[in-house]
C-alpha cells in the first residue's frame, strides 16, 4: 500500500501538484478544526479521497497500522496522571481526537502515494519549492518512497527466517532485539549500496524530470485545496 499502483482512477489522472495541494489543505484543516462536526466532515472527505484513488478504508488503515499503534497509545498516556484523580478523561479524549485527525491525514497521504509515481512526486516538489531546498526535498521524498518498501521486505524476510528456525518460541524481547539488530544492519548495507550506485551513475542535482501539466479534473481538486486552506485561515486569524 505504500507504493504506486498503476490505475485509471480520478486520483491517477490528477496532476501531482494538485494532489500535493489537497494534502496540505487537508492537513491544515484537520489540525485546525477540532469540533465534532468538522471531524465528521473531514472523515467523509477522507473516505471520498480514498474512493477517488480506489483504496478501501480498511486497506488504508492496515497500511498505517504501525502509526496507528502509536496513535492508540497516545490517549492512554495522556489520560494517566501522577496523582489524583489518576485518570484524566478530558485529556485522554482530547488526545484521542487529535490522534484520529492525524490518522485521517495519513489516510489521505496513502491515497496520494498509491496514485502518484515517485518521479512525479519529486517533480511536483521541486517545481513548487524553488532552489536547492526543493531539490533536496524532492530527492528525499523519492529515496524514501523507493527505500521504505525495500526495508519492509527485509524485515519480513528476517521474520520468516526466524520462524523457519523456531525463533517464534523465543521471548518477545529477544525476538524484537534480533529483528532490530538485523534490520539496522541491512538498512546500513542498503544505504552503502545506494550511495555507491548513485556515485556510479553520476548522480546530479538537476536530473531530467517528467513534464507536468494541469487538466480539467485538476480544477475541482485545486478548489478543494483552496477551500480547506481558507477555512483554516478564517479559523486561525482573528477578524
Asked if residues 75 and 16 have their Cβ atoms less than 8 Å apart, the reply is: no
CA distance 223 to 160: 47
CA-nearest of 153, 148, 145 to 112 is: 145
For the segment 125-155, what is each residue's pLDDT rounded down to a tens digit? Answer: 877 777 777 766 776 767 666 677 777 788 8
CA distance 57 to 50: 7
What is the pTM (predicted TM-score) of this model?
0.73
Statement: residue 239 has pLDDT above 60: no
CA-nearest of 8, 34, 160 to 95 is: 34
The pLDDT assigned to 74 comes to 82
For the segment 37-50, what is each residue's pLDDT rounded down to a tens digit? Answer: 889 999 999 999 99
> Residue 80 pairs with which residues in a beta bridge?
87
For the segment 76-130, what is each residue's pLDDT rounded down to a tens digit? Answer: 888 887 777 778 788 888 888 888 998 999 899 889 888 988 888 878 887 777 7
9-27 average pLDDT score? 91
The pLDDT assigned to 238 comes to 58
Amino acid at each position: 500500500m505504500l507504493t504506486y499502483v498503476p490505475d485509471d482512477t480520478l486520483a491517477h489522472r490528477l496532476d501531482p501538484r494538485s494532489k500535493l495541494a489537497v494534502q496540505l489543505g487537508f492537513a491544515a484543516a484537520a489540525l485546525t478544526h477540532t469540533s465534532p462536526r468538522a471531524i465528521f466532515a473531514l472523515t467523509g472527505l477522507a473516505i471520498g479521497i480514498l474512493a477517488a484513488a480506489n483504496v478501501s478504508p480498511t486497506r488504508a488503515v492496515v497500511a498505517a497500522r504501525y502509526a496507528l499503534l502509536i496513535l492508540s497509545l497516545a490517549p492512554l498516556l495522556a489520560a494517566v496522571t501522577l496523582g489524583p484523580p489518576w485518570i484524566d478523561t478530558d485529556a485522554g479524549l482530547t488526545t484521542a481526537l487529535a490522534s484520529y485527525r492525524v490518522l485521517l491525514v495519513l489516510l489521505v497521504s496513502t491515497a496520494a502515494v498509491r496514485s502518484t509515481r515517485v518521479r512525479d512526486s519529486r517533480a511536483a516538489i521541486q517545481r513548487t519549492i524553488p532552489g536547492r531546498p526543493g531539490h533536496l526535498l524532492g530527492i528525499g521524498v523519492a529515496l524514501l518512497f523507493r527505500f521504505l518498501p525495500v526495508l519492509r521486505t527485509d524485515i519480513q524476510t528476517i521474520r520468516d527466517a526466524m520462524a523457519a528456525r523456531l525463533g517464534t518460541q523465543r521471548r518477545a524481547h529477544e525476538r524484537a532485539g534480533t529483528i532490530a539488530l538485523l534490520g539496522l544492519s541491512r538498512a546500513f548495507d542498503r544505504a552503502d549500496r545506494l550511495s555507491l550506485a548513485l556515485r556510479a551513475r553520476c548522480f546530479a542535482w538537476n536530473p531530467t524530470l517528467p513534464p507536468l501539466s494541469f487538466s480539467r479534473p485538476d480544477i475541482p481538486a485545486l478548489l478543494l485545496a483552496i477551500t480547506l486552506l481558507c477555512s483554516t485561515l478564517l479559523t486561525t486569524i482573528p477578524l
